[in-house]
Amino acid sequence: MLGAALPIARALGIGEALVMCDLSNVASRRVIEANGGRLIDVTERKRRYWVPTEAA
């Protein structure tokens, strides 16, 4: 779903999307990173990423 949403965000003029997932959600982490997510920080319970909307 993330991969499908990024072109829509790009069409709306959004260059990067802030995406978060729970620390324990390894599947979401892999999807975010596979879509170019750059880790911003890790809190007590969340991982935050900037994901570019431009095609790689």
Determine the Cα–Cα distance for residues 12 and 47; give it in Å rounded to an integer: 25
Q: 47: helix, coil or strand? A: strand
Flag whether the pTM goes above 0.85. Answer: yes
Residue 53, pLDDT score: 96
Residue 56, pLDDT score: 57
CA proximity to 17, closest of 42, 41, 49: 49
Say what percent of the chain tops pLDDT 90. 95
| pLDDT tens digits for range 15-32 | 999 999 999 999 999 999
Give the count of domains, the chain.
Answer: 1
Q: Which domain holds residue 12?
A: 2-52
> Would you state the structure tokens that stand for residue 30, as one six-digit string?
């892999």
pLDDT-derived band of residue 40, with 50, 70 and 90 as boundaries?
very high
Maximal CA-CA distance, the chain? 34
